Structure 1
């Protein structure tokens, strides 16, 4: 069995984090989104077929030709024309039954196995309280009978999770699928053709974790998930008078200096240097080569590789891209005075994040001057800068 992993999209809603990397390579725990997905399938598939597009070479370089002993092949979706179109790119290399997973969706380890164990075509469905916001699936005795996209009156509480198993016969139905009104070839339309032709599609009901990582703050959500079962592993250098509590990973080559106080779950990647006298609260990932200086507090955040937070700074509920440099005294606000959910601008629209606490999202190589104040929900673009003592209240992209 193959696993076809879709990893071709631009991830525009995740910007600035995806300006210089494809979304599937965003870090989650001690891995990346796509590697987490591959790790969940490696024991049940014989080969990975990765559908690449945006920054395809980055994915090829990161994953290579094999993952934990399982071969990896690549096919290219030159133009983003929908999920069915992406799956169709694998038609020349896939001959047998195969799984379909997205490189930016986080699920439990059990789901790929459940789909693999099903017969023929199958799709994962999940019960939710507000099905009208999703594609709703009707079933009868465990078999899909209909799919309806965001109905006003949902016929069931089961939604389509976008995780499938197909036989190679699906490629013929993909070829017959017409473009939707939004100009894409939708896999749900393909499934509709299967059903109309009398083909059975098994509904695999699933009630575990399901997160579609589409917006920047959702990287914090999946970090929570990834670190929820973290086991302590202390392979790096931990100086005397450091204090580590809860589940903490200090990778080989990382250093925790004297006076640092770390409350897990926290992952400190190889080459990172924390302290002295720093306070790190989880769930947090301190990426490879990151520098967390004296008197710095990091709380519930993800710091990409080689970021640096100078002394006497505070970073809370935030995502900092690679090579970001926060000048001394930089302070992130992560809570509105009116206690309402923090809003963030996504593709020109102010979006309610649903998060009471949310700090900032910072693109690669951004730099702040000393004593900069960053307001809750602000985004700084790739290479953005601030001046000493500046208060930044709106996005700077």
Structure 2
């Protein structure tokens, strides 16, 4: 079975981080967002995955290659150089998927649900499409599905009077007749071909569209706060791991709690680590406090500083921060230095190669 991941967006809601890093490569719990999508799709049975990217020179292709060595499944890259909406992106995948049913996954979504039931239900019913739906407290902010007798009968975009609280969550299964539906729709007021319009066309033609209500949480990880929440929820699922008092990586007067993962060749020196925390390889943490829900990438140095509920990507340096860093997203190669002064709290969203010096 084939699947496609739509990841050609510019990620403007995550600027400045995504000015130099595609959003699907932003790490959550030290794993790129895109890997969660790939893991979910392979769990659903996908054996080949197409990635819709903004260019065949995308850093995503540079990072993952043909997929066989990096993610364990063959990857094909499909360029959407002139984006015209989700339906346009799906249409570009027609030569890749051919005449078989396929899955579409929006690349910035993270789910607790493994989704394996979704495809099975689609096959059993013979429907033309299946949509992942999730209950939301504010349905007027989403595309909402209206149901009758267990089938979707209408999709309504951000309704003032929502018929349900079931939002379209960004995972779809389609038969190839979705391509004919896309050919029959017109651009929306945004001058884009909307996938909801194509699905509505299927409905109008009497085609079956079935719902799948997602179990557990769903995060549209498009903004820094959502990335932080996804990081927290994934770290929360770390299993209990007792502290190894003989671990040579833990040195001096250090206190490390359970649910702390420490990478190879890393050192914890005279520091406090309170899980859930994940620490990459070649990391040095000295005279520091690392609080819950923090993910630290590879080759990071943290000295005389406190940080929690944050993501620190690779090759970063954080030194002498007097106040606690909280709820921050710090991209590759960033340097944060504090000259001693009155303690305070800092929040950063930094792009690659940034330097912040506080005095």
Instruction: Report the TM-score, using the length of structure 1 for normalisation.
Output: 0.82
Runs of 4+ with >4 A deviation: 233-236
> Once the 2 structures are TM-superposed, how far is the Cα of residue 332 of structure 1 from its aligned partner?
5.9
Paired with 1:321 and 1:200, the residues of 2 have a C-alpha distance of 44
Paired with 2:157 and 2:76, the residues of 1 have a C-alpha distance of 32
Q: Which of 71, 90, 94 is residue 91 of structure 1 equivalent to?
A: 94
Q: Which of 254, 261, 266 is residue 266 of structure 2 equivalent to?
A: 254
Paired with 2:301 and 2:114, the residues of 1 have a C-alpha distance of 36
| CA deviation profile, 1:6-55 (whole Å, cap 9, x unmatched) | 11000111100101011000000021100111112223111111111168
Task: Describe the SS at the equivalent of 1:137.
Answer: strand
Q: What corresponds to 1:366 in structure 2? A: 354
Paired with 1:290 and 1:219, the residues of 2 have a C-alpha distance of 20
| CA deviation profile, 1:219-249 (whole Å, cap 9, x unmatched) | 1111001211114498882224321102101
Paired with 1:229 and 1:329, the residues of 2 have a C-alpha distance of 37
Paired with 2:114 and 2:334, the residues of 1 have a C-alpha distance of 37
Which structure carries more relative contact order (alpha carbon 8 Å, separation 6+)?
A: 2
Q: What corresponds to 2:134 in structure 1? A: 126
Alignment of 1:154 with 2:162, yes or no, is yes
> Once the 2 structures are TM-superposed, how far is the Cα of residue 311 of structure 1 from its aligned partner?
2.5
Q: Which of 212, 219, 223 is residue 220 of structure 2 equivalent to?
A: 212
Task: Describe the SS at the equivalent of 1:327.
Answer: strand
> Once the 2 structures are TM-superposed, how far is the Cα of residue 329 of structure 1 from its aligned partner?
3.4
Q: Residues 64 and 332 from structure 1, CA distance in 2 versus in 1: closer, same or farther, beyond 3 angstroms?
A: farther
Q: What corresponds to 1:286 in structure 2? A: 296
Contact conserved, 2:56 with 2:77, CA < 8 A, in 1? no
Unmatched 5+ stretches in structure 1? 335-358, 373-388, 390-397
Task: Describe the SS at the equivalent of 1:171.
Answer: helix
How many residue pairs get aligned? The number is: 343
Q: Which of 105, 108, 116 is residue 101 of structure 1 equivalent to?
A: 105
Paired with 1:54 and 1:224, the residues of 2 have a C-alpha distance of 32
| CA deviation profile, 1:64-98 (whole Å, cap 9, x unmatched) | 21254321111111112111111111101102111
Contact conserved, 2:66 with 2:74, CA < 8 A, in 1? yes
Instruction: Name the Cα RMSD after superposition.
Output: 1.9
Paired with 1:207 and 1:312, the residues of 2 have a C-alpha distance of 40
Contact conserved, 1:21 with 1:55, CA < 8 A, in 2? no
| CA deviation profile, 1:307-346 (whole Å, cap 9, x unmatched) | 1011344322211111111123376635xxxxxxxxxxxx
Q: Residues 332 and 21 from structure 1, CA distance in 2 versus in 1: closer, same or farther, beyond 3 angstroms?
A: farther
Q: Residues 312 and 191 from structure 1, CA distance in 2 versus in 1: closer, same or farther, beyond 3 angstroms?
A: closer
Q: What corresponds to 1:135 in structure 2? A: 143
Say which is worse superposed, 15-24 or 320-329, in terms of deviation. Answer: 320-329
Q: What corresponds to 1:144 in structure 2? A: 152
Q: What corresponds to 1:355 in structure 2? A: none
Q: What corresponds to 1:21 in structure 2? A: 21
Alignment of 1:82 with 2:85, yes or no, is yes
Paired with 1:142 and 1:191, the residues of 2 have a C-alpha distance of 16
Q: Residues 9 and 312 from structure 1, CA distance in 2 versus in 1: closer, same or farther, beyond 3 angstroms?
A: closer
Paired with 2:170 and 2:86, the residues of 1 have a C-alpha distance of 9
| CA deviation profile, 1:341-381 (whole Å, cap 9, x unmatched) | xxxxxxxxxxxxxxxxxx22122222123xx2xxxxxxxxx
More helix by share: 2
Paired residues for 1:241-390 under 5 Å:
241-257=253-269, 259-275=270-286, 277-293=287-303, 295-313=304-322, 314-329=324-339, 333=345, 359-369=347-357, 372=358, 389=359
